[in-house]
Amino acid sequence: MRRWARRRVVTAVTVGLAGLAAACTPVTTRPDFRPDPRAPVIILDARPERVTLELETLVPAESLALAHLNARDGYVETTWYDPTRHQSYGDERAIADLSAAVKIRCWADPWVPGQTRLTVEPVYRPRSDPSRAERDLEFIVPEAHPGHRIATRLIEKLKEKFGTPKSAL
């Protein structure tokens, strides 16, 4: 194969791969990580958009501040919240007791038509380490943590509002 022909093929392949990569990049407000597998999961009788919009009212009712909410993506994230002081923090450096603070993330994913698989992830960070990624330092809160009770209340209120599917007999 001649040199000029080889260059043309390499250029065409490079342009094609760049176009394919650009076409496959989703635009989403969700983080680039999945929920922790130990996070509570529930199936609700509602579409993900409805569940997300209901969380928009339930989260502030629990005295939590919203950091991110996108109904189309089915994602909700709170700021850090200290349940002992009843205070939300937009900046984690302002948190007085890092191990007491909790952040709640919710992923509302389509399950079957008309149903949502909701993952509610209450996390805390026992220590701060600027050299590591934020996600690497987060852990699911233990059941005795006040953040776990907040997440449980959110789940219960959503179950009351939308109901859960009846199992097939």
pLDDT (tens, 9 = 90+) of the chain, 169 residues, equals 565 555 554 454 444 444 444 444 467 778 888 999 999 999 999 999 999 999 999 999 999 999 999 999 999 999 999 998 888 998 877 888 888 899 999 999 999 999 999 999 999 998 877 788 888 889 999 999 999 999 999 999 999 999 999 864 3
How high is the pLDDT of residue 3? 57
How high is the pLDDT of residue 70? 95
What phi and psi values does residue 85 have, to the nearest 5 degrees? -100, -10
Measured in whole angstroms, the distance separating CA 25 from the mean position of its chain's CA atoms is 19
Is the pTM higher than 0.85? The answer reads no
CA atoms of 67 and 78, how far apart (whole Å): 5
How high is the pLDDT of residue 167? 66
Question: 146: helix, coil or strand?
Answer: helix
Residue 55: its H or E element: helix 48-61
CA-wise closest residue to 97 among 85, 112, 113, 105: 85
Interaxial angle between packed helices 48-61 and 146-162, expressed in degrees from 0 to 180 and rounded to the nearest 10: 130
CATH of domain 29-162: 3.30.310.80
How high is the pLDDT of residue 61? 93
